[in-house]
Amino acid sequence: MKIKPFSQQSLWCQFLLASFPIFLISTLLIGTWVSKKIENSVAYRLGGVTALYVESFIGNYLQSAARGGDLTEQDRAALQSILKGTPLGKKIVAFKVWNREGKILYSPNASLIGKSFPIEDGLAEAYAGNIHSEISQLSHKEHATEQARWDRLIETYVPIRTPGDERIIAVAEFYQTTEELSREASMAQLQSWVIVAATFLAIYLLLLGLVRQGSDTITRQRSELERQIGTLMELNEQNQMLNDRVRRAAARATSLNENFLRRISSDLHDGPGQDLGFALMQIDTIIARCMACPGREQAHNFGAGDFHTLSQSLRSAMAELRTISAGLCLPDITNLPLPDVVERAVRDYEGKSGAMVKVAVSPGMDGPESGSEPELEPESILPVKITLYRVLQESLANGFRHAGGIGQSVSMVQADGRIHLRVNDAGKGFFPQDDRDAKHLGLKGMRGRVEILGGTFQISSSDSGTVIHVTLPLTVPGMNYA
């Protein structure tokens, strides 16, 4: 079975792998420290108890040291007898008496008597009036005799005082074996190890349980989150598909609407337009006959002037009908490149209004070569061309109506698969927040045309003029008008 890398493990497995060595090492360190403390405590207790006996038994035989001299032979013999064949002597395996200069006044090993050694911590503490007891590893030169028989001993220093003024006159150093220490300390150490190990194990298992519970919760939430993300991605894909379908439908509706407007224009021209023309011809014929008949000087009294007024009304209606018909019908822009569509819309506006518009077109920035328009399917770009033409038509007309056609300019750039169109004028401006109001039908129509193809429509206006910024996708994917 392949083992997962650490980073791919669950949270509780990572905690188990990372924390177990730390807890184990911590348990061993603390257990060892507690065991050492217990051993030292037992050693101090044993040494302290024995020190009381030593001081009470040998204190009277060391009074000669109070005078600053060595022990007498009688004192040494007495000490020798006390340390042999008595219960105290059985507990003590080595014995020394020190003076303040670090000189050995007495030792069962006669070769050490009279020798001086550096004053160590235990000896110094005893001369300060304290009993000092510890487990010695017998590493000093003075321990040469003991090193031959033991690995370690309980070393105790006890101050010897004069009976009257409690002045310290000497220090007795004695050693005990660690057999009794081992018996007493081993049980306490075992108990301490059990308590420490059980405590750390309980803490570790408790933490592990909490981390395991949290890890399982995170895993469940992650799985639920992944499931929700998957569902969201599916919904997003469906939404994108629906959005594309809406955009394609809107593009088709744009083209169909233009076809419908073209048909209305044709019907107006061929229907009511022809009827008005025929009626105008008949009126003109009637007027001519009235003017040619006898008594034409009386024709006005019989309605000849009314016929003339009617003729003028019919002519005006025909002119307006032709203007409406021409406005409804777009020119054929299917095969025109985008820059030519812009030029055509601007020139048509200039021809109708007589205004002048500055045009700056930068075509084909997305093309394989700078200055060349990319090859696009006519069906996919036709809705964009229609929207582009209608936006230009409406925005320039608005600039003429409300700004008098002052300072009008048009710029278009193709970049990043989109068309960026700007239409400016130098009129007095208006409040842009009103562009969605019901009275601004032209602006609402432009915005709707642009946004339905996935573009953006922005307008800003001030005292120095109005700017309309439109972006459109270069094509509408999936279009097919075959």
> Is 417 within 8 Å of 355 (Cβ atoms)?
no
On the CB side of 63, CA atoms within 13 Å amount to: 9
In whole angstroms, give the CA distance from residue 438 to residue 455: 22
Residue 428, classed as helix, strand or coil, is coil
Most distant pair of Cα atoms in the chain: their distance: 190
* Per-domain boundaries in the chain: 6-186, 332-482
Tens-level pLDDT at each residue, the chain (482 residues)? 567 676 667 777 777 777 778 878 887 888 788 777 777 777 777 667 777 667 766 766 676 666 666 777 777 777 777 777 666 666 777 788 888 888 888 887 777 888 888 888 888 888 888 888 887 777 777 677 777 777 778 788 888 877 766 778 788 888 877 776 667 667 777 777 788 888 888 888 888 888 888 888 888 888 899 999 999 999 988 888 887 777 777 767 766 676 666 666 555 655 665 666 667 676 777 767 666 666 555 555 555 556 667 777 777 776 666 666 655 666 778 888 889 899 988 998 888 888 899 999 875 544 433 344 445 555 557 888 888 888 998 889 888 888 888 999 999 998 888 999 999 999 888 776 655 555 567 788 888 888 888 889 999 988 888 999 999 988 776 554 43
DSSP assignment string, 370-420: TT-PPP--HHHHHHHHHHHHHHHHHHHHHHHHHHTTTT-EEEEEEETTEEE
Residue 467 burial (10 A CB sphere; 0-12, 13-18, 19+):
middle
> Is 158 within 8 Å of 126 (Cβ atoms)?
yes
DSSP 8-state class, residue 68: T
Residue 228 burial (10 A CB sphere; 0-12, 13-18, 19+):
exposed
* Distant-in-sequence, close-in-space partners of 159: CB < 8 Å, separation ≥ 6: 55, 126, 127, 129, 130, 131, 168, 170, 171
> Is 423 within 8 Å of 465 (Cβ atoms)?
no
The residues facing 359 across adjacent strands are: 410
> Is 387 within 8 Å of 453 (Cβ atoms)?
yes
In whole angstroms, give the CA distance from residue 98 to residue 65: 9
- Helices 179-270 and 441-452 sit at what angle, rounded to 10 degrees? 120
CA 418 from centre of chain = 32
CATH superfamily of 6-186: PAS domain (3.30.450.20)
Tokens 């061309």 — which residue? 385
DSSP assignment string, 310-336: HHHHHHHHHHHHHHHHHHHSPP--TTS
For 332-482, the fitting CATH number among 3.30.565.10, 3.60.20.10, 3.40.50.300, 3.40.710.10 is 3.30.565.10
Tokens 């399982």 — which residue? 216
